[in-house]
Structure 1
Amino acid sequence: TEEGQKRAKQMLESFGIEGLVVIGGDGSLKGGLDLAQKGITVMGLPGTIDNDLGYTDYTIGFDTSVNTVLSAISNIRDTSSSHERTTVIEVMGRHCGDIALYAGLTGGAETILIPEVDVDINAICRKMIQGRNRGKLHNIIVKAEGIDMSTQELAETLKERTGMETKIVVLGYIQRGGSPTARDRMLASRMAYKAVELLEEGSESRAIGINGSEIVHYELGDALKMKRDYDKQVMELADILSI
């Protein structure tokens, strides 16, 4: 709120704080932008498991979340195979499908459903039936929470059309916790170091990210306007490997 923003500015000024590092997702960084427009120097670090900020290749927490989901997929696969069933695993990510895409690819999922691509229920059923005809005992379907079809509706439709027993696993908030991976620790450390460097240099408010292996930074308002698209090559690779 406007009142909250004014109070935050007053508190920072009262304690002589000249620079603020905001670590969070889209909402947190927009709050940081509001403060920046009121004269506070803000450095924005992308801390969100969703990986949904367009100005950076990866966000802090994304790799940890993907590895958590990957571990769950590996555990679920054992039961899915032994009971010869299809399992739909719902993962987080809001309107960004990166968690589903990266975990699904590395976890060997037969089908990956993300919000950026329309669901083709016929194609999913064909792949399941063709796999069964080749002797495949089970299917793992990784579904991002943001797609239009509910997980319950998807499971019921697949069971009805293929005759294959279909179960649901919603991973929920276990994806948001746990011990950070080495990659996330390194990313967070490098971004934090850049934030301090920029503050010491007297820089204006910036958003800090990573492009390839390079730590980059942009004007905070411009960074939040950048749009993100999913990696089509990763999706194509996942489709190839699932055959």
Structure 2
Amino acid sequence: MTRPTPAKAPRRRAGRPGGDDLDLRAHLLDAAAAQFARSGIEGSSLRAIAAAAGVTPAMLHYYFGDKARLTQALVEERLMPAMQPLRERLEPVGDDPLALAAAFAHGVAEIVERHPWLPPLWVREVLCEGGTLREVVFRQVVPMLPQWLAGRFAAAQAAGRMNPALDPRLMVVSLVGLTMFPAAAAPVWKQAMDAEPLRSRAMLDHTLALLGSGMRAGSGGETT
């Protein structure tokens, strides 16, 4: 009599998981984002990420393979969705350069509120020389956004709506510096000034006040 062949255990199919698998994948990505923000991508091992997530390295490997694929998943499933609302907020803004700058500041403030890991990761891996994500960010995450913003500021300046002493390209640099850097450096300033943590609303109000006093046409002339 022929015995029935034992059923094989179902194998995980390639592609995005579902149900509980999807929840665990999201948890692992969140742990990777936080670890990368603390220690940098190069300085974060899969073992450290697994420990932070409370799983084994084998489990992390099961979902993502190696660190390169984990990093790409982080870009596609965390960084790109986090930054997309910023572009959507900016595109409908009219010709007022201050309104455009304010929209950028509000947009970044909302992103930081929802994703506190993003500012330190951005400083480490995009702004610093040799950052792992610099090319990826400008190719995939915010393609052409800096050039687009600089072009909008240049057009406003040419139309007499923006302070002629400002450089439209440096306006983009300034906006990033006024939004991402304070959020990333908040723990440092708390220690240096022995003060309460900077609230996101206070940082936003400060940024808007600086922009409002310096961007308008007639705010100031050229310096020597």
- Look at both structures and tell me which one has the larger radius of gyration over its CA atoms: 2
Q: Same fold (TM over 0.5)?
A: no
